[in-house]
Structure 1
Amino acid sequence: MDTFVTTAIVGTGQANEALPETHTAIDTLAAQLPVEQKERSFLLTAGALAIYKQASSLVSSAQTLPEVAAPETMPACLSRNAQLLIGLFQPPYTILLPEALERLRSSGHRIPDEVLPQCLAYGTTNSEHRSQLAPLLGERGRWLSQFKPTWKWASRYLVDEHATILPAEAETLWQEGTLEQRQEILSRLRTQDPAQARTWLEQVWKQEKADVRATLLTCLESGISDADQDFIEQALNDRGESVRLAAARLLLHIPTSPSVQRLLARADSMLDFKKSSLQNKLLITLPKQIDLDWKNDIAIAKLKQDKLSSEYWFHKAIGRISPQHWESRFDVAPATFIDALNPNEMGKALIVDLIKAAYRHHTSNWYQPLLGWYIQHVLSTSLQPIGKAARELFAALAPADAEEILTPLLEDREKSQHPLLLLPAPWSASFSDKYLTMFKTYITTNPNDHYSFWDSTLLFQLAICLDPSKLDFALEIASTELPEDDTHWSRQRRQNQLHSLATLIHIRKRILTEI
């Protein structure tokens, strides 16, 4: 064992009086150290020896330095803007991040080098923001992502200024790129040359794994036509269940295919429309027994045996068929068909099926009557949470039409939070003003009512929904001090929530003026 290590272990008090020899020039220097300061002399000698050995060692092999990052094509944003962005990486401020990132992208600037590690780390744990962050990282950010496995997401995205044009290296990316890049290339090619995109996919089909086949197959939805039918029908027999399901969803957009015709026949046997001078009626007739073939006709994809009821498969069928089928079959306007629904549990379930179908097939002339019935008979009479299907359809509706449908809810305090869940941001100045007026009346009259309204997620959503011209009005309301004589247990909590809302509004104003 090394003499110095041995001495350090047993202690200088147990060792010989003399310092250990190094058999180097250090011994000459060590001899000049004071003997009475044994511990200090020992440490100085050991330190000198360590430096001596390091200075005399040779590197066994030189490491190859990585290639430098490509030259930047975008200027970096101001440092203060970058610091503002970093502040949005912590809740509850994250709700403001998408708007800030979009404004930075629109300005033609990227994130500066000094904050790239924070941005890459945030994108690692918050995948929903990656598609917005990736274009703003610049060449240096994508270069930096190679040095940490968890940052590799940044290099998976195809980033360029022309999001619909095929890059020069399109074929190379299609063959060798990441799955995300291949998806993007195939989607872009699909918009320009649908047949060529299908050919590319056919050429690599057998060599891809099932999950990759399923992902790439969904790219064919854009520009889908009868020409795609044979290839998609073949995919129905794929070994991978995810591929079969993806193929079934695509065939729904080809109404002339045999698979969809069988689906329509099953649905027609269960749903009928009876016209009457008094009240039109929708008649539902569920089969008493169903076999696997019956279910396969609705699922389109081949299924294993299951025990699901005929009612389940009825709703499955209605949710898959374009509402235009009922419009054509019964020769009725959408509103007439929808008004025939019975507002019972079956009717409420059926309206959700029709909403899913309208969104799936983009039948925009059905949007308003469907959502109008949903507001009147579901949201206004039920405490059930708003479903995903309704939120998606509201997002697809023209903003002015969506606001018109939801305006009556502002008169009902119990339903006044629904616009925060249903209306995409930002709202119009008119609707923002109406909502803030309702909100001001609410918190200044009886703020202890309607606890659900004070859900932090909903309340803070207000900061991103409002039209920019109404932020000062909102700030005035959020700065309201609740009555001091209010002894309700939640007063302080609600006061804190208002203060947090005011902070969010202040930050959003900074985003709108500084970025």
Structure 2
Amino acid sequence: MTWEDLASTALVGTDRRPYEGELLESAAVEVVRRRAGQRLGETTGQEQANDEELPAVTARAAERLARILGGEYDRLLPEWLAAASTSGRRVPPYVLPELLDRGRRDQSIRSHLGLVAGQRGRWLAALNPAWAYLLEEPTGETWELGSSADRRAYLSHLRRQEPKQARELLETGWEREEPDDRAAFVEVLADGLSMDDEPFLEQALDDRRREVRQQAANLLTRLPESRLAQRMAVRARSCLTFTKGTITVEAPKACDAAMERDGIRAKPPRGIGERAWWLQQVVARAPLGLWGRPARLLQMKIPDWDAEVKAAWVRAAVLQRDPEWARAMFAWDPIADLLEALGPDEQQRLAADFVKEHDLDSQLIMVLGGVSSHWREGLATAVLRKIIKVATTQPWNLGELIKLAGERIDPSLAELAEGYSPVPPIQQVAALLRFRADMLKELS
């Protein structure tokens, strides 16, 4: 049967034509025949990839990457890519299609992928629209010649070295920057933030792009002497009144243009009333020094709006990166975001105490997920002890904790974990730590 006969039979229905049992088989044969008879397309006009500038990773490292891509400890892919980019090496060409497909689905690996894909990766990205995202990721180019991602990376590096010079570079061409780039560039100023940045950020509150205004307001909130912080202090004082161990709350009755300029969003999320939403934002953006010591405040009675005020203090501790408040609010509501205000040592101490006192549930996993990687012995042993305890009562509930322990504990502690207990869950953690130790050694 010809292709036209097959199409006609499929459209009319096999009950009205003969050949019912062989329709699909014949269609498959016809597809292969038609494809086999096609001439190859002309490729003479296709530009070739530029010569590679970076050396490839070693054969051992490439083999391990292939194992990860094949499903062996596949959650280690971001760590492998980060280590490879730090070492200044690129991936072998044969893994590029799989990696580029992964990056299409997982945005978290794209920044490192841009650095390790090499010239061949960018050449492939230019040929396939599904991989075009790679062309927006940093490659190591300079401020003048780089893409948006390259310029963000350059500005970030300069900001860490010379904060003033980075801000002045940004100010010089601010009006010529694209709106999306302006929001990302403002975020870079969080590193090394000081009152020297305040005039520029205050001006950014009038930017046309909402994301730029929001980023600028977030950074100004971290500067208690900024004009925005002082305006918020005035608003917050009108909302909270302190008398004899009680806090009386009067939530804002309106959100005016001046409040919106300072980062207060007028429309609340679903399920939150307008006044509650405005109250939380005003209190969260007011300087925490306005209220005194958090331990005393948490003991005071708040007859109305209690949950809203305390949620605002949690948000304020996160926004303003205040260690004392983060510590106090973590004791009241242990959420992972609060740990970002603390140094790695204190993060791990608080998390270790939480592991010892708390049952294994989603909250414990979220807290551990907020702790910086390379957990040291104190937190590592607390988690290993928890694994042993849960293994005797709820072994089916251990999967995520085992993976998290293996992915976050410092891999140099693999021997400690291996000798900690012979029970299978602990040995699973030790095996993952050994895998990571070998992986990082191959990429060093």
Q: Contact (CA 8 Å) 1:426, 1:467: kept in 2 or not?
A: yes
Correspondence for 1:151 among 131, 139, 162: 131
Matched, 1:64 2:45: yes
Shift of 1:153: 2.9
Give the structure 2 partner of residue 340 of structure 1.
299
Matched, 1:427 2:372: no
Matched, 1:367 2:326: yes
Correspondence for 2:236 among 252, 263, 267: 267
Structure-2 change in CA distance of 1:102 and 1:221 (3 Å): closer
Shift of 1:428: 1.0
Amino acid at match of 1:391: A
Quick one: distance in 2 between partners of 1:200 and 1:367? 37
Matched, 1:405 2:350: yes
Matched, 1:85 2:65: yes
Shift of 1:265: 0.7
Quick one: distance in 1 between partners of 2:217 and 2:171? 20
Shift of 1:357: 1.9
Shift of 1:88: 2.1
Give the structure 2 partner of residue 43 of structure 1.
none
Q: Contact (CA 8 Å) 2:229, 2:285: kept in 1 or not?
A: no
Instruction: Give the aligned length.
Output: 400
Matched, 1:480 2:423: yes
Correspondence for 2:317 among 348, 352, 358: 358
Matched, 1:456 2:420: no
Correspondence for 1:447 among 371, 374, 394: 394
Quick one: distance in 1 between partners of 2:149 and 2:82? 21
Correspondence for 2:115 among 135, 144, 149: 135
Give the structure 2 partner of residue 465 of structure 1.
408
Matched, 1:315 2:280: yes
Quick one: distance in 1 between partners of 2:419 and 2:225? 58
Q: TM-score, normalised by structure 2?
A: 0.73
Quick one: distance in 2 between partners of 1:345 and 1:510? 57
Secondary structure in 2 matching 1:507: helix
Please give the per-residue CA displacement for 1:446-485, whole angstroms capped at 9, x wherever unaligned.
Answer: 336xx7xx1633442121122335435645789736xxxx
Matched, 1:325 2:290: yes
Matched, 1:172 2:145: yes
Structure-2 change in CA distance of 1:432 and 1:256 (3 Å): closer
What is the root-mean-square deviation of aligned Cα atoms in Å?
A: 4.1
Give the structure 1 partner of residue 12 of structure 2.
none
Give the structure 2 partner of residue 511 of structure 1.
439
Quick one: distance in 1 between partners of 2:215 and 2:238? 26
Q: Contact (CA 8 Å) 1:237, 1:244: kept in 2 or not?
A: yes
Q: Contact (CA 8 Å) 2:247, 2:301: kept in 1 or not?
A: no
Quick one: distance in 2 between partners of 1:262 and 1:194? 28
Gaps of 5+ in 1: 1-5, 10-49, 161-166, 276-280, 328-333, 380-389, 482-496
Please give the per-residue CA displacement for 1:420-469, whole angstroms capped at 9, x wherever unaligned.
Answer: 3343322112331233133223323x336xx7xx1633442121122335
Secondary structure in 2 matching 1:172: coil
Give the structure 2 partner of residue 181 of structure 1.
150
Quick one: distance in 1 between partners of 2:394 and 2:264? 55
Quick one: distance in 1 between partners of 2:325 and 2:358? 28
Structure-2 change in CA distance of 1:257 and 1:412 (3 Å): closer
Q: Contact (CA 8 Å) 1:429, 1:470: kept in 2 or not?
A: yes
Give the structure 2 partner of residue 300 of structure 1.
262
Secondary structure in 1 matching 2:44: coil
Shift of 1:85: 1.4
Give the structure 1 partner of residue 253 of structure 2.
290
**Relative contact order higher in (CA < 8 Å, ≥ 6 apart):** 2
Give the structure 1 partner of residue 183 of structure 2.
214
% identical aligned pairs: 24
Deviates more, 1:361-370 or 1:414-423: 414-423
Structure-2 change in CA distance of 1:147 and 1:433 (3 Å): same
Please give the per-residue CA displacement for 1:133-155, whole angstroms capped at 9, x wherever unaligned.
Answer: 22222333334432222223333
Amino acid at match of 1:69: N
Structure-2 change in CA distance of 1:440 and 1:366 (3 Å): same
Give the structure 1 partner of residue 172 of structure 2.
200
Give the structure 1 partner of residue 33 of structure 2.
none
Please give the per-residue CA displacement for 1:334-386, whole angstroms capped at 9, x wherever unaligned.
Answer: 45445535599965654443233223223234333332x23xxx45xxxxxxx
Structure-2 change in CA distance of 1:402 and 1:270 (3 Å): same
Quick one: distance in 1 between partners of 2:294 and 2:223? 25
Give the structure 2 partner of residue 32 of structure 1.
none
Secondary structure in 1 matching 2:359: helix
Secondary structure in 2 matching 1:283: strand
Q: Contact (CA 8 Å) 1:226, 1:254: kept in 2 or not?
A: yes
Quick one: distance in 2 between partners of 1:90 and 1:113? 16
Please give the per-residue CA displacement for 1:33-59, whole angstroms capped at 9, x wherever unaligned.
Answer: xxxxxxxxxxxxxxxxx99xx9xxxx9
Quick one: distance in 2 between partners of 1:338 and 1:302? 24
